Amino acid sequence: MENWNKAAMLKLLWAITFKTDKLWVKWIAAYCLRRHDVSTVGITNNMSWHLKKILKLRELRVQLNWEDLLLNGKFSIKKAYKLIQGEMQKVQWRRIICNNRASPKSKFIVWLAVQNRLPTTDRISRWNVECQLQCRLCDTQNESIQHLFFECSFSTEVWNGLLQKMGFNRTAGSFDVESRIVCLKAHSKSLKSRVYVMMFSEAVHTIWCQRNSVIFENTSCSPAVLINRVIFQVACNCNETERRLLVQ
């Protein structure tokens, strides 16, 4: 976010430097820069906070070439961001988040889960916080990401039911196995694959919410109720053609 903000502010610096026909640029030149050159003008206390921030990016601009930041003669925030960010290693699960029309809240939970950042009790215990380690959905094993998705008998029943609804004749695997399958599905453009990715995301989110409801509200629902809840949520984010797959 910090780098994206810098890229966006660079666009304002570029406009102040080159878009001299713009009214707001003329105003800044006349009343703030006092006709001084943008690249050499000193930053004074009389300048606004916003203008100070923009002018401070001149140090970053020295490292970049204006020509590398343009697209068809216009400043490209995207190109600037990529140059500032530099080359980054792509994670395997990126398409689960990007090629996914599930609800934002479910994608956020999946994003945390694939990085093992959900506050499951095995992680909480490592923070020296006293908590019940047992999974509250099945009360048989200690809770972890791998157990919750989908070694737990409760969550396994939910995901198995959703797999059957989608026409897959198999049982749920571990979270790592299911994540790899979803990654492959996310690369596909078929209707069934898009529905599968949404179904997985909503299932992870719904199971996580059910886990929290049991712990903090002492309320529980049957796997059948959660299956219907997931299907309803997916249907809300589907188009008409995809929705037909859910009712077949």
75 and 118 co-located in one domain: no
Sign, Cα dihedral of 134, 146, 225, 112: positive
176 and 238 co-located in one domain: yes
pLDDT value of position 247: 59
pLDDT value of position 44: 87
Q: Which two tokens stand for residue 7?
A: 């890229």
72 and 111 co-located in one domain: no
116 and 70 co-located in one domain: no
Q: What is the pTM of this model?
A: 0.75
**Which domain does 166 fall in, by range?**
94-247
Domain boundary among 85, 116, 132: 85
pLDDT value of position 248: 60
Rounded to a whole number of angstroms, the CA Rg of the chain reads 25
8 and 72 co-located in one domain: yes
Q: Which amino acid is at 245?
A: L
CB 113: neighbour CB atoms within 10 A? Answer: 23
Q: Are 91 and 44 in contact (CB under 8 A)?
A: no
Domain boundary among 32, 52, 85: 85
79 and 156 co-located in one domain: no
Q: Around 216, how many Cα atoms within 13 Å sit in the side-chain half-sphere?
A: 6
Run means of pLDDT, 10 residues per run, the chain, 248 residues? 94 91 90 84 89 91 89 93 88 89 95 96 92 93 96 97 93 95 92 93 97 95 96 88 70
Domain count across the chain = 2
- Give buried/exposed letters for 30-60 (b at 16+ CB in 10 A, else e): eebbeeeebeebeeeeebeeebebbbebbeb
105 and 179 co-located in one domain: yes
129 and 215 co-located in one domain: yes
Domain boundary among 51, 85, 119: 85
111 and 57 co-located in one domain: no
167 and 76 co-located in one domain: no
The DSSP secondary structure of 118-176, one letter per residue, reads: S--HHHHHHTT-----B-TTTSSSB--HHIIIIISHHHHHHHHHHHHHTT--S----HH
